[in-house]
Structure 1
Amino acid sequence: MSQTDTNEAKDQNAVDPGEQERIIKQIAKELSLSLKQVRTTIGLLDEGNTIPFIARYRKEMTGELDENQLRDIEERTQYLRNLEERKREVVRIIEEQGKMTDELKTAISQAVKLQEVEDLYRPYRQKRKTRASVAKEKGLEPLAEWLLSQPKQGDPMAEAAKYVKPDAEQPVATAEEALQGAMDIVAETIADDANTRAWVRTYTMDHGMMVSEAKTPEEESVYEMYYNYREAAKKMPSHRILAMNRGERENVLKVTLEVEAEPICRHIAGKVIKGRSATENVLQAVIDDAYKRLIAPSIEREVRAELTEKAESQAISIFAGNLRSLLLQPPVRGKNVLGVDPAYRTGCKLAVVDDTGKLLEVAVTYPTPPNNKKREAAAKFHELIDKYEVELIVIGNGTASRETEQFVAEVIAEHQNRELAYLIVNEAGASVYSASKLAQEEFPDLDVAERSAASIARRLQDPLAELVKIEPKAIGVGQYQHDVSQKHLDESLKNVVESAVNHVGVDVNTASPALLSYVSGVNATTAKNIVKFREENGRFKSRKQLQKVPRLGAKTFEQCVGFMRIDGGDHPLDKTPIHPESYDVVNRLFQELGFSLDQLGSKELNDKLAALDPEQLASRLDVGVPTLRDILDSLMRPGRDPREELPLPIFRTDVLKIEDLTPGMELQGTVRNVIDFGAFVDIGIKNDGLVHISQLSNGYVKHPMDVVSVGDNVTVWVLNIDVKKGRVGLTMRKPAGVEAK
């Protein structure tokens, strides 16, 4: 973000001090944080600081809030500022109508949800023509007021007869018409009451049943379990809500939210009807009409929208968690890799890359049906393996992947003069990348499928660097990602990628523009400028050089420089996550210890650093304790990649078929996807096996993500096998009497 952008952001975020303080107090209460933490965080965000920067380099100021807490504050601040803006607009409109009261103004001011404000505004909102508005035009409001006054004496029909005006500009032909018009006005008044709507909404959420039925019961579909289904709305898990919504959208299901009307009408009557009166029976009929015709349909829409919003939020959260785990898979370094993009008719595309990801050669073979040219394909594989000293073969998990896997296993068995293994990787999004402008620039001489094979190979060598080139939602590691708000999904996934990239850090001398664009404070234009500067001037020798990059101003430099790494540069600290603003602290520390920066990474220095007490040392060095802890950790492991602490993926040399499985068999697998009801695990057969949530642990599991993450290597046992459907049920609960390997 440039300085101009930052100033504009400040102007846009300028809010009334009293309003700001209300927002701070509310967020602090909601998130169980101190007022100081919230106030400081909002201030830092308004100054144009990014969340990764604040989380890493402003820990003292925020009380060590993590990225999730900071994002919660950011999200709630934006919501509440928008809410305050809406309140001002609603107050203005009602005041212009001359209908504002002190009581209403206070209620609007104290509202904490947008829905509350809209409920209060509802009676004053410009409506399209309604039965009530027509009745008002006919002059029937006094009759409606008479009904609501609930007189002890009188006859509603006789009173209505006074309003019969057959010859008026807005004629009322009969007493029945007059009474019905007045009833319509009262019904709308009841339906627009904010307190009534709030109560009915809560009651419907608590007692409503989601009901679905098939529009054509005799037709088969993936929604058959919902052909005659009902479940308490508030207990429905997100995946079932989204599945029902999709079935309804595809015109397979009819979905309704059912709730018993009698208790609701009784509650409304208790608020409206004051006792015995001449209009009691009329008002009861009005209440029934108001609920069934006006309140119930809109409340059903609102409650279903709220359920969908929560379900979408859960689905997005799962996708985000899975994506982060996938992005942070450990890189497999130092190996030449043969990437395989499998296919049937068009053949398997091959791409060999060296240990730096540089493309060495591409080819195409046809080992799978309908061509079945296994001998020629094997010869090509052996040629490439020997020519480039390939150690790993990486197969995409798309069409024909398992047939290709069988073939690769046979090639490995034949290849006696070299250690070889293979791995199947998730190729989701590879085709999206291959057809992108970025891929065309990177591999201008390759066709789409060949680019895909190169991308598959590189995904093993550095998953993060390769996957950032793909639109995050194309990396299908979630559930129902196409059924949720795409705007919210995009925002959430962008945050995940940004968080992962800054957690790892980037080598400024090798990073692509796609990777650099996710670094704190860097946009796409600045990322391209960094690469262009590097191409024109050679490798960056120091972080300070970044200040010479066009459009990389002081604020952007402050935000990004700590996440940029320069290995082998002029300054030893440039390869660490230590921010240049703390270099003086490191110099004072090394002076006190009697070491020089040239000794960075040495055992002697590390032993000395490990023995230090940050609490005592911080005051002497005039630095905060959290920052000093981070500095000491970075000094002890300079150039460390946090992903390298994770276990490497499981490499295989032979194929397992579903027919080989037996109940109770112990296997090693890799978690491919985590969803609400369990986890899918690759055990080396055609389809991933499912570990249901009930089989993830011997104890209670609230959500699968509490136990497993995408990329985890896990020990599983076979529970059940359905050869016909190709399904395998797995358990992570060790069977009695079995010793895990």
Structure 2
Amino acid sequence: MQKIIAQIAQEIKVQPRQVLAAVELLDGGATVPFIARYRKEVTDGLDDIQLRELEARLSYLRELEDRREAVLKSIAEQGKLTPELRAAIEAAPTKQELEDLYLPYKPKRRTKGMIAREAGIEPLAEKLFADPSLDPTAEAQAFLVPAGKIEGADFTTAAAVLDGVRDILSERWAEDAALVQKLREWLWAEGLFTSKLAAGKNENDPEIAKFRDYFDYDEPIGRVPSHRALAVFRGRALELLDAKLVLPEVPETGKPSIAEGKIALHLGWGHKGRPADDLLRKCVAWTWRVKLSLSTERDLFARLREEAEKVAIKVFADNLRDLLLAAPAGPRVVMGLDPGIRTGVKVAVVDATGKLVDTSTVYPHEPRRDWDGSLHTLARLCDKHGVNLIAIGNGTASRETDKLAGELIKLMAKAERVIEKVVVSEAGASVYSASEFASQEMPDVDVSLRGAASIARRLQDPLAELVKIDPKSIGVGQYQHDVNQSELARTLEAVVEDCVNGVGVDLNTASVPLLTRVSGLSGSVAKAVVRWREANGAFKSRKQLMDVSGLGAKTFEQSAGFLRIRGGDNPLDMTGVHPETYPVVEAIIEKTGKPVAELMGRADMLKTLKPELFANEKFGVITVKDILGELEKPGRDPRPDFKVARFNDGVEDIKDLVEGMVLEGTVSNVAQFGAFIDLGVHQDGLVHVSQLSHKFVNDAREVVKTGDIVKVKVMEVDVARKRIGLSMKLDAAPTRKDGPRDNRFEGAGRGQQVQRGRDALPQGGAMASAFAKLQGLKR
């Protein structure tokens, strides 16, 4: 365990004592949000990002240690565990390197090399390799084996015996961990990742055409960006693309490859024209071509996929975090519109608390075209319930429905009623509508109308509503079905947990799904909390949590600080001050002579207090500073203020866009290499990373995040292919359609792709091509 502690400390660049403290807390049942918020003293200030990384590495390294013990035990039982091998196994830093060392000793089916050893040919192999001046054919005569003596093999001729030598040596060398690792690292640095259209496939097929940038593609494997790697792997899985790892140089026919030369160099052997050298060259070639080339390709493809998945999962996690922490509209009466054409626009009105108070369906579009009747119905609902905000789902007929809402707003303005409208992502609304929780929450409401209610609520409080939906259904990821699903789920669950606990949860209004994400609360305890609330009324204090069945002292410790009670018996219960530190607040009250209600919000007074005066053995200066910070801004919400994007009148379809037009839009999705912008025209536009700023930007999230409202210039419009190229550099000139195509994002020939993805995209084809990869394949 000390070894693990030391390694993690080195990796995340903290002290071993900090790691040890965090591990002890995690093993004791503490959650990451609790440790990050309320145990800063113990870990010396490790934040949630460091703790998440620590938690993940702790799990990996513990699995590695368990596997290491199993490997050592297996080799020891075979009687082959030497001190040197034990030292190498104990020093192996990764699962891959551990398996490399174990490979020669791993129980396996009977191989040709094993059969040759059974025939007693191994001494000949040793002899010829040690002294290539010996004549192989002559030496082989002494190792001939009578027919039928070895099951499944015939070593009655010198040629067969020498084939046995080849099998013994090639298997031995192919299981040399140091050699295998050298070849892997060399090919990772120098090998080319290539793909071509699979034989017999029609490149004009619309589904296949999505992959056209990879019909003749190659790039150094160690530099392939995540999105390109996953695109090729998806095409390969669909049997549309053939992907291979290609050596840096193709040798002349009959000449040894660079890989074979590296094997020979590792072995310390070179062809000097001695009698056995041709045989040994054959053994080296066999080692690469038969034993190592395919396995090395497989290993490096696995490494490329793993690294690409890490990036894709991180992008998904970052976008999800931004979406969950988007600005809430707050306690406003909201009308949710779930657009539809033939089935009508579903309407749901929720009050300031999120309670569904009314529903309807209107038919402004084809085939009924009841525009005036729809306006009348919506106006009546606005008057009846005091609606001041409209949430419009961004699905089919969204733009037409947005126009309807615009006319409704003008109509209500005549009655001096101010209403705003916002187009919101409806991703996951249908999943929620059909969920068990939705049926419990709105049992007598049609499934289609539940979606409209969800759209309205996610504008009031995105976090509270989106936690009801599987994170993978929210629609802010790319290639999400191509990555490791368990790792994706684990990462997204951690993001949701961190967001919920970072904001805090109103104990008296929170739903079961929201409470389930609170530190320390399981699904069953969350249900018990809601049952208690329904039976006894609103919680008056955090202490009452101890009256909930199944909620013990440990659960209270982990959860209480993240639960808020507004208007309760103790003003501190609406803050992030943990109940365990209330005695510290009492000391502050005694020192200032002011009751807690008068202290809260008094930054001028609180800033004069010295934290050292209130620190004790249990709660140090760091904790006291946090308490004073909470008292300065009690119950503060870390999320930004709510703003509404203003779509341009008359811009309702991609056909309405004109190059050079400056528009306002909402960032709907962000990848490392660009950002998608919802302009309200049914089709998101793409701001490539090179068009985000006049400064060099490596990752789009350095500039924008999901939910941001931005101004963009239209650079390129391709109506036929539904592509919109945008720029946030508002002084940029629109793309020249007759300009030279930049192939840095195309399937260029070998050697032309090293710098792709890091340069600007000055001319037409590049942005459209990048958009194709991102938008066409992102689902």
Provide the TM-score with structure 2 as the length reference. 0.89
CA distance in 2, matches of 1:432, 1:322: 19
Q: Which residue of 2 aligns with 1:725?
A: 721
Partner of residue 155 from structure 2, selected from 166, 172, 194? 172
Match runs of 1:172-211 below 5 Å: 172-211=155-194
Give, in whole Å, the separation in 2 of the partners of 1:33 and 1:464.
Answer: 32
Q: Which moved more, 1:390-399 or 1:620-629?
A: 620-629
1:348 alignment counterpart: 345
Deviation at 1:204, TM superposition (A): 1.1
Superposition deviation, residue 389 in structure 1: 2.0
What is the CA distance between 1:620 and its match in structure 2? Answer: 7.7
1:567 is matched with which residue? 566
Q: Distance in 1 between matches of 2:614 and 2:581?
A: 12
Match status 1:108 vs 2:109: no
Give the letter aligned to residue 264 of structure 1.
A
SS at structure 2 position matched to 1:213: strand
Once the two structures are superposed, what CA deviation does each residue of 1:620-671 show, in whole Å capped at 9, x if it has no partner? 898422212211111111222222x434242669552344443333322211
Contact 1:341 1:396 in 2 (8 A): yes
Residue type of the alignment partner of 2:293: A
Q: Say which is worse superposed, 451-460 or 251-260, in terms of deviation.
A: 251-260
Q: Which residue of 2 aligns with 1:284?
A: 281
Tell me what 2:79 maps to.
98
1:145 corresponds to 2:126:
yes
Supply the AA of the counterpart residue of 2:79.
G
Alpha carbons 2:336, 2:349 under 8 Å: kept: yes
Question: How far apart in 2 are the matches of 1:672 and 1:141?
Answer: 65
The equivalent of 1:407 in structure 2 is 404
Show the counterpart of 1:429: 428
Q: Which amino acid aligns with 2:192?
A: M
Q: Shift of the alpha carbon at 1:613?
A: 4.3
Indicate conservation of the 8 Å contact 1:412/1:653, yes or no: no
> Is the CA contact 1:320–1:492 (under 8 Å) kept in the aligned structure 2?
yes
Contact 1:161 1:175 in 2 (8 A): no
**Distance (Å, rounded) in 1 between the aligned partners of 2:709 and 2:337:** 23
Output the CA distance in 1 between the equivalents of 2:315 and 2:178: 35
Residue in structure 1 matched with residue 757 of structure 2 by the alignment: none
Deviations 1:548-575 (A, max 9, x none): 2111121111110100111111111111
1:354-404 deviation line (CA, Å, top 9, x unaligned): 111111111112222344332332222222122222122111111221222
Q: Paired residue for 1:253, among 241, 255, 263?
A: 241
Instruction: Choose 253-262 or 705-714, whichever is displaced more.
Output: 253-262
Q: Offset at 1:73?
A: 1.0
- Contact 1:143 1:160 (8 Å CA) reproduced: no
Q: 1:383 aligns with which of 375, 380, 385?
A: 380
1:269 aligns to what?
264
Deviation at 1:217, TM superposition (A): 5.0
Q: Distance in 2 between matches of 1:530 and 1:702?
A: 46
Aligned pair 1:117/2:105, yes or no?
no
Please tell me whether residue 397 in structure 1 is matched to residue 394 in structure 2. Answer: yes
Candidates 41, 60, 65, aligned match of 1:60: 41
| Deviating more after overlay: 525-534 vs 148-157 | 148-157
Q: What is the match of residue 448 of structure 1?
A: 447
Pair 593,716 (structure 1): closer, same or farther in 2 beyond 3 Å: same
SS at match of 1:642: coil
1:488 CA displacement: 0.4
AA at the equivalent of 2:321: R
Asked if 1:675 is matched to 2:671, the reply is: yes
Partner of 1:484: 483
Instruction: Give the Cα–Cα distance (whole angstroms) in 2 for the partners of residues 98 and 303 of structure 1.
Output: 33
User: Helix, strand or coil: the match of 2:331?
Assistant: coil
Q: What is the CA deviation profile of residues 579-636 of structure 1, one whole-angstrom value per residue up to 9, with x for unaligned ones?
A: 011111111012111211232435xx3320133344x545589842221221111111
**2:56 is the alignment partner of 1:75:** yes
Please name the residue that 2:651 is paired with. 656
Q: Structure 1 pair 211/620, CA: closer, same or farther in 2 (3 Å)?
A: closer
CA positional deviation for 1:533: 1.1
SS in 1 for 2:390: strand
Partners of 1:335 and 1:651 in 2: how far apart?
19
Pair 1:333 & 2:330 matched: yes
Q: Name the CA distance, whole Å, in 2 between partners of 1:360 and 1:468.
A: 22
* Aligned equivalents of 2:570, 2:215: Cα separation in 1: 67
The answer to whether the Cα contact below 8 Å between 2:118 and 2:150 also exists between their aligned partners in 1 is no
Gap change, CA 1:720 and 1:278, over 3 Å in 2: same
Distance 1:201 1:294 in 2: 14
Query: What residue in structure 2 maps to residue 233 of structure 1?
Result: 221
Quickly say closer, same or farther: Cα 1:158–1:651, change in 2 above 3 A. Answer: same
Instruction: Give the alignment partner of residue 646 of structure 1, picking from 641, 646, 666.
Output: 641
The amino acid that maps onto 1:125 is K
Q: Does 1:301 align with 2:298?
A: yes
Q: State the SS of the aligned residue for 2:600.
A: coil
CA displacement 1:685-729 (0-9 Å, x = unmatched): 222221110011111111011111111122222222233334322
Amino acid in structure 2 at the alignment position of 1:324: R
Which sections of structure 2, spanning at least 5 residues, go unmatched? 251-256, 734-779
Is 1:126 the counterpart of 2:107? The answer is yes
Structure 2 letter corresponding to 1:638: P
1:5 aligns to what?
Answer: none
User: Larger deviation: 337-346 or 623-632?
Assistant: 623-632
Match of 1:705 in 2: 701
Q: Is the 8 A contact 1:572 1:600 kept in 2?
A: no
CA–CA distance in structure 2, aligned partners of residues 167 and 240 of structure 1: 54
Distance between the aligned counterparts of 1:139 and 1:430, measured in 2?
A: 70
Counterpart-to-counterpart distance in 2, 1:719 and 1:552: 58
Could you tell me whether the CA contact under 8 Å between 1:164 and 1:175 is conserved in 2? Answer: no
Shift in CA distance, 202/130, structure 1 to aligned 2, threshold 3 Å: same
**What aligned pairs does 1:151-166 form with structure 2 within 5 A after superposition?**
151-156=132-137, 158-160=139-141, 162-166=143-147
Decide which moves more: 572-581 or 151-160. 151-160
Does structure 2 retain, via aligned residues, the 8 Å contact 1:201–1:299?
Answer: yes
Range 351-360 or range 383-392, more displaced: 383-392
1:592-611 alignment to 2 at 5 Å? 592-601=591-600, 605-611=602-608
CA shift in 2, pair 1:445/1:480, >3 Å: same
1:350 aligned counterpart, secondary structure: strand
Deviation at 1:333, TM superposition (A): 2.1
Amino acid at match of 1:300: E
Contact 1:420–1:653 (CA under 8 A) maintained in structure 2: no
Match for 2:260: what amino acid?
C
SS at match of 1:691: strand
Contact 2:394 2:682 in 1 (8 A): no
Q: Which moved further from structure 2: 142-151 or 217-226?
A: 142-151
Q: Unaligned regions of 5+ residues in structure 1, if any?
A: 1-19
* Pairwise CA distance, 1:29: 1.4
Q: Percent identity?
A: 46
Mapped contact 1:132–1:181 kept (Cα < 8 A): yes
Q: Take 1:160 and 1:544, find their aligned partners in 2: how far apart are those partners?
A: 90
| Cα separation, 2, equivalents of 1:473 and 1:655 | 34
Q: Tell whether 2:219 aligns with 1:219.
A: no
Task: Give the distance between the partners of 1:360 and 1:654, measured in 2 at CA.
Answer: 31
Greater displacement, 694-703 / 648-657: 648-657
Range with bigger deviation, 498-507 or 128-137? 128-137
Q: Distance in 1 between matches of 2:338 and 2:572?
A: 41
